[in-house]
Structure 1
């Protein structure tokens, strides 16, 4: 029996900056909270194909599992949680605004 489909977002890296980005209904964002949450497998596959057809602006697009908490997507895997908060070598970028302890 196939595994049931769970909510997902399309994520990738911005080609020039390298930042983690998430697909929205109208483009890309660097904020996971603004990402388009896909609950239908066929729609998710189509959105991924659309993302992968943008090699001039993004690289490494894939579907990442999320859960919804109060309507806001949250990563289900530590890798995606790590990617959502940005580089960890010292507080800069996204990590400057993260106040909670993540580990």
Structure 2
């Protein structure tokens, strides 16, 4: 049995800063709410290949399923929510403001 494709965003880490980033059309953004939600599996696969080729900008590119049922974009897995808060080993970056 194959899994059905779920709406997803393309995510990665900024190569120089390390922040979690999301693809918004052609640009990388740091806010999940600005990410482009992909709903077609074939399109998502092509976009993922294109994003993975941006080795001078990002590392660790992959698709992350999201929930859009409430009108916004929310992660469906704890790991993604945790990644978005930034490094947890000490207060710096995004965690500095929590």
Change (3 A) 1:57 1:41: same
The runs of at least 4 aligned residues of structure 1 exceeding 3 Å deviation read 89-93
TM-score (structure 1 length as normaliser): 0.85
In the TM superposition, residue 70 of structure 1 has moved relative to its aligned partner by 3.4
Tell me how far apart the structure 1 counterparts of residues 57 and 44 of structure 2 sit (CA, whole Å): 20
Counterparts in 2 of 1:76 and 1:15: CA distance versus 1, 3 Å: same
Task: Name the count of aligned residue pairs.
Answer: 97
Structure 1: tracts of 5 or more residues without a match? 99-103
Gaps of at least 5 residues in structure 2 are none
Considering only aligned residues, what root-mean-square deviation do their CA atoms show, in Å? Answer: 1.5
**TM-score under structure 2 length normalisation:** 0.89
The CA distance in 2 between the partners of 1:91 and 1:72, in whole Å, is 28
1:69 deviation in Å?
4.3
Residue 4 in structure 1 maps to residue 4 in structure 2: yes
Q: Secondary structure at the match of 1:86?
A: coil
